[in-house]
């Protein structure tokens, strides 16, 4: 079941709506077609309704100068290319393409105005699924090709929020779509440092100080980055300071496989993450300063392709060619 209300106007006067998805168990997910943002995800616990994602109640808060000045991308769909591209440069058919450098000297999350700040066309399917569509024109943020993207949000009666991605292009283009929600499974948005996390791989991408991959895959067994056995996020945080790493699972898969699990400190709520994508960016939110939310108020678990993939031949999924279909799925399943 999906309800629709007006959510306000953008600064350019575009009308924005807010869609509330419900399942038979009382879970509700609120999503706006501005940026495809998941504004809230509420669980019906015995003594409370608990929101488990960081977000706001109004469009104005998402578009304010204060929020955008230290922009954490709360809950948004990210494209055309999520995460980082080294110095914003990719090479196609021997020619360099310069993409916007909006994060120090590097490209981040699609550029100056990515998919996270676009108004998507919204369609409710069978009063169950929310389909969002966006046509990114050739040359937008200097990306080549007209990229037609659709994302379907589906809330199942198995308490699973599914995100289905699909895209086609008429010119070869870099692509890496993801969803940028920050999760906090506690009540009252306590620090996520007391959450317990498991990530089902022994490998992350080796990166430099700007989080640009070297192209090497780093074996993290028995290091502070190893979450193969579930552990509290704060166990090694004093030495790490902040996790912001892409955990590597190898090839993409045709159907989602479980890659991670997050629980609150008391094990009241557990969330399982499954995806067809080859990477999971784990960001523990040290630099969040947005409204009432501060450092470590949420953890981002972004299923995605590898950052800077177009610049590494051994990362095989950074490009989309005409005639190909980019198709992936990520599921967030709640157990409570």
pLDDT (tens digit, 9 = 90+) per residue, 67-104? 999 999 999 999 999 999 999 999 999 999 999 999 99
End-to-end CA distance of the chain: 21
CATH code for the domain of 237: 2.70.98.10
Distance of alpha carbon 247 from alpha carbon 232, whole angstroms = 17
Instruction: Tell me the pLDDT band of 14, cut-offs 50, 70 and 90.
Output: very high
What count of other Cβ atoms lies within 10 Å of the Cβ of residue 310?
25
Residue among 240, 237, 260, 230 nearest 248 (CA): 260
Where is the binding site for beta-D-galactose, in residues? Answer: 83-84, 180-182, 244
Where is the binding site, in residues? Answer: 83-84, 180-182, 244
Q: How far is CA 221 from CA 227, 286, 305, in A?
A: 9, 24, 22
Instruction: Tell me the pLDDT band of 316, cut-offs 50, 70 and 90.
Output: confident
Distance of alpha carbon 329 from alpha carbon 45, whole angstroms = 27
Q: How many domains does the chain have?
A: 1
b vs e for 19-50, b when ≥16 Cβ sit within 10 Å of the residue's Cβ? bbbebeeebbbbbbbbbbbbbbbbbeeeeeeb
On the question of pLDDT at 56 being above 90, the answer is yes
Predicted confidence at residue 170, as pLDDT, reads: 98
Distance of alpha carbon 113 from alpha carbon 100, whole angstroms = 10
Structure tokens at 90: 């990719």
- In tens, the pLDDT along 158-181 reads 999 999 999 999 999 999 999 999
Distance of alpha carbon 99 from alpha carbon 176, whole angstroms = 14
> Phi and psi dihedrals of 26, rounded to 5?
95, 5
Claim: this prediction has a pTM higher than 0.85: yes
Given a contact cutoff of 8 angstroms between Cβ atoms, the answer to whether 99 and 111 are in contact is yes
Distance of alpha carbon 295 from alpha carbon 286, whole angstroms = 4
Q: How many residues belong to the chain?
A: 336
Distance of alpha carbon 309 from alpha carbon 168, whole angstroms = 18
Q: What is the mean pLDDT of residues 98-124?
A: 98
- In tens, the pLDDT along 177-193 reads 999 999 999 998 999 99
What range defines the domain where residue 192 resides? 2-335
Distance of alpha carbon 193 from alpha carbon 190, whole angstroms = 9
Catalytic residues: 180, 302
Q: What is residue 39's three-state secondary structure?
A: strand
């Amino acid at each position: 079941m999906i309800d629709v209300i007006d959510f306000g106007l953008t600064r350019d006067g575009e009308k924005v709506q807010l869609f509330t998805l419900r399942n038979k168990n009382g879970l509700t997910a609120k999503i706006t077609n501005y940026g495809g943002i998941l504004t809230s995800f509420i669980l019906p616990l015995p003594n409370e309704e608990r929101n488990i994602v960081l977000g706001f109640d109004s469009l104005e808060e998402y578009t304010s100068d204060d929020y955008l000045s230290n922009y954490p991308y709360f809950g948004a769909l990210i494209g055309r290319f999520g995460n980082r591209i080294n110095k914003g440069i990719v090479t196609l058919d021997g020619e360099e393409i310069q993409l916007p450098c909006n994060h120090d000297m590097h490209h981040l999350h699609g550029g100056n105005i990515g998919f996270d700040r676009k108004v998507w066309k919204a369609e409710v399917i069978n009063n169950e699924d929310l389909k969002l569509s966006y046509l990114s024109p050739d040359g937008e943020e200097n990306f080549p090709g007209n990229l037609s993207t659709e994302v379907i949000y589906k809330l199942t009666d198995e308490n699973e929020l599914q995100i289905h991605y699909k895209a086609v292009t008429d010119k070869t283009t870099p692509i890496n779509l993801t969803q940028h929600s920050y999760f906090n499974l506690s009540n009252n948005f306590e620090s996520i440092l007391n959450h317990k996390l498991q990530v089902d791989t022994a490998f992350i991408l080796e990166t430099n100080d700007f989080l640009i991959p070297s192209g090497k895959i780093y074996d993290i067994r028995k290091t502070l980055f190893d979450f193969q056995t579930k552990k509290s996020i704060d166990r090694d945080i004093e030495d790490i300071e902040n996790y912001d790493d892409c955990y590597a699972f190898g090839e993409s898969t045709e159907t989602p496989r479980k890659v991670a699990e997050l629980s609150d400190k008391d094990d009241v709520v557990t969330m399982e993450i499954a995806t067809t994508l080859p990477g999971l960016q784990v960001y523990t939110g040290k630099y969040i300063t947005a409204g009432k939310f501060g450092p470590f108020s949420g953890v981002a678990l972004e299923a995605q392709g590898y950052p800077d993939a177009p610049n590494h031949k051994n990362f095989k999924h950074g490009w989309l060619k005409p005639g190909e279909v980019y198709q992936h799925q990520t599921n967030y399943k709640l157990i409570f």
